[in-house]
Structure 1
């Protein structure tokens, strides 16, 4: 620590400026963790401090802590902090990047864990039984002898759904319908494409697509909404299958055919069950035969069938491949096609104007049952309004009431 004195305008000795020597490795780590949160001015300061051309003041470190969401105490460590994120142990793919998670992913996981802890405690205090859907597979005798279609059928029955539940329901309805049935089963489903309400912190779908948090009373699924509805559908199904087995998971797969799975047998089984839930074999084969064209354009056929199931073209293509309906080369053509489509849509979105109303977006992201539980608990005095505001990510009573009213409006639509 360095203390500097300087003279004030009257020639006297002014208050000391205390500068803190922070380890360069820590500052480099902070820079990497900050993403796009810092202005050019802050980046310049960090560079100076890293090169030890200058040292930061206590106030500057406090401000930097607030801007980067990095705990203030981390700046005084001798080595780069190793944050224990248990969920990372349950990641789908064994890749280097997810072992060094972004601040955005860490903060999202912590936020969801906080909400889940509150909800689990609340339900237990209210006398709720353990969730029936969570880990239901453990109550099935000789489950290993069941086929994947039989397991898929069991899951659908648990959710009060039937085979073909998503067939010819459009683009958004399958996801919304499944989410509602999960809510009815006591599964909390949250979606967001950014960290909380911070539009400057978008969630990277290449880092993760979804995660499931196991709990006997409040199992929770989070979906990265930077995917399309049709892509989110597979993520949601994949995560609910994990909860049916009673396991947490960080879904960071990209639907490639050859992935380095952490647990290969388990993930392959879950993927196959997920495919059966979205694309039941007999219905899929029947539709495939009906959609056959003279020119045998298999790429177009995959695209057409994906719309019928409200599913992503890539997951539809992989299902087609697994059923030996298309060769591997069609998947490559499909990936090229989808990349071009993505680039065009990205450009179109930049040029478009207008956006949904603020509270409409907020209400679509948060689980409606969770909002009602927080509201009920706050009104009964079991939870302080300060804690309730934090749980719903709102700042004051006015915002709290607007969000609750918007959620109730959506539920009544």
Structure 2
């Protein structure tokens, strides 16, 4: 039986080549290896379904888009992100795909799960509040428990936010594999604001101390009801500074922090509060405990940024999603409200991993 071939619009191939984030030398190699992209080939722009699927995956573009009559119009993404430079990041194809994935998860939970049926009163509850007022609001909703490591504190805070109704997701890159990592310098975290299903995304490649800070920082945005789509750069900078200050005060309560620094030192205080040495130094300077900071003196020791899963892909899959989201999605799949393939997509994992991942989650 002859392979089924499809006719592809040349404009869609041009769109794919212009959209992808692959370097020019890799694109040249792809065009050279795929004869159906060459004008003198008898099946020019008539690939088999398999060939077109491989081409789409290689270029990181949706397969369905290549079957359209016209190139798709890209959505305008103007979100603000937590980056190392604390300015809005450029949106790469990898980051764009992660944003779309998080939007799909949020949309399903809000409109189809049957769970997000109550408006969350804390969204925007601290709108216009000062840094100290924001910090007190944070403490009203999240308990700061002492933990033996940043990893344990991060896990505890995620669980508390989940119980509160905030979807909190993490991932280290786009897609199912590891070949499209999200660089921390591009985005550490972002929030998708919503009155019923607010969502916080954390870059899993970041250190645990940074993830802790980002998680509380983004919760601060939710409390402020900040519509980052509409914020200009100047107002965004002011908002970031205010929420950074509130986050620092929340994670390192004043009196306890002063006692720890005076009894020990800044680095030991940082370990106790599960923050970075630089964050602790900034807090100490703000409280008048030190005069100035030399950032190089408070460099954090390199640690493994990804979750300690022992190389087990199923353990890593379990860490990607919010617990409440997973409970709701698995229940929906078991009663037939969501098909297995869709459930796997909404989990952000491959279909072949879904059954075991679900079973491990239920057994926890």
TM over 0.5: yes
Residue of structure 2 in register with 1:42 after alignment: 30
TM-score, normalised to structure 1's length? Answer: 0.71
Distance 1:326 1:282 in 2: 16
Which residues in structure 2 correspond to 1:105-116 (within 5 Å)?
105-116=95-106
SS in 2 for 1:317: helix
TM-score, normalised to structure 2's length? Answer: 0.80
Q: Please give the per-residue CA displacement for 1:49-81, whole angstroms capped at 9, x wherever unaligned.
A: 89x99997342665322322224687799x998
SS in 2 for 1:184: helix
Residue of structure 1 in register with 2:253 after alignment: 280
Q: Please give the per-residue CA displacement for 1:133-175, whole angstroms capped at 9, x wherever unaligned.
A: 322325xxxx64xx5334312222223x1xxx24453221211
Of residues 93, 103, 107, the one that matches 1:103 is 93
- TM superposition shift of 1:196: 3.6
Structure 2 residue 126 is the aligned partner of structure 1 residue 137? yes
Residue of structure 2 in register with 1:202 after alignment: 181
Structure 2 residue 353 is the aligned partner of structure 1 residue 399? yes
- TM superposition shift of 1:267: 1.4
Q: Please give the per-residue CA displacement for 1:183-202, whole angstroms capped at 9, x wherever unaligned.
A: 11011111111224211111
Distance 1:369 1:272 in 2: 29
- TM superposition shift of 1:248: 5.2
- TM superposition shift of 1:371: 1.3
Which residues in structure 2 correspond to 1:212-251 (within 5 Å)?
212-247=191-226
Residue of structure 1 in register with 2:267 after alignment: 303
| Structure showing greater Rg | 1
Residue of structure 2 in register with 1:190 after alignment: 169
Distance 2:244 2:80 in 1: 15
- TM superposition shift of 1:130: 1.2
Distance 1:304 1:364 in 2: 29
Contact 2:82 2:190 in 1 (8 A): no
Contact 2:8 2:67 in 1 (8 A): no
| Equivalenced residues, count | 349
- TM superposition shift of 1:244: 1.3
SS in 2 for 1:319: helix
Contact 2:158 2:168 in 1 (8 A): yes
Q: Please give the per-residue CA displacement for 1:97-154, whole angstroms capped at 9, x wherever unaligned.
A: 833x22111111101100100000135x45731123322325xxxx64xx53343122
Distance 1:281 1:42 in 2: 58
Closer/same/farther in 2, CA of residues 110 and 38 from structure 1, 3 Å limit? farther
- TM superposition shift of 1:333: 3.0
Which residues in structure 2 correspond to 1:298-337 (within 5 Å)?
301-334=265-298, 337=299
Closer/same/farther in 2, CA of residues 248 and 329 from structure 1, 3 Å limit? same
Contact 2:166 2:199 in 1 (8 A): yes
Contact 1:188 1:220 in 2 (8 A): yes
Backbone CA RMSD of aligned residues:
4.0
Residue of structure 2 in register with 1:29 after alignment: 18
Closer/same/farther in 2, CA of residues 25 and 326 from structure 1, 3 Å limit? farther
Q: Please give the per-residue CA displacement for 1:256-289, whole angstroms capped at 9, x wherever unaligned.
A: xxxx766222111111111111111222222221
Structure 2 residue 361 is the aligned partner of structure 1 residue 361? no
Distance 2:173 2:25 in 1: 13
Distance 1:319 1:82 in 2: 46
Distance 1:174 1:289 in 2: 24
SS in 2 for 1:356: coil
Residue of structure 1 in register with 2:117 after alignment: 128
SS in 1 for 2:75: coil
Contact 1:166 1:278 in 2 (8 A): no
Distance 1:45 1:321 in 2: 59
- TM superposition shift of 1:223: 0.5
Closer/same/farther in 2, CA of residues 24 and 192 from structure 1, 3 Å limit? closer
Distance 2:24 2:310 in 1: 22
Q: Please give the per-residue CA displacement for 1:326-379, whole angstroms capped at 9, x wherever unaligned.
A: 344422433xx44xx44xx58xx9xxxx93322111111221211111121222
Distance 1:53 1:92 in 2: 48
Distance 1:319 1:128 in 2: 40
Structure 2 alignment gaps of length 5 or more: none
- TM superposition shift of 1:226: 0.5
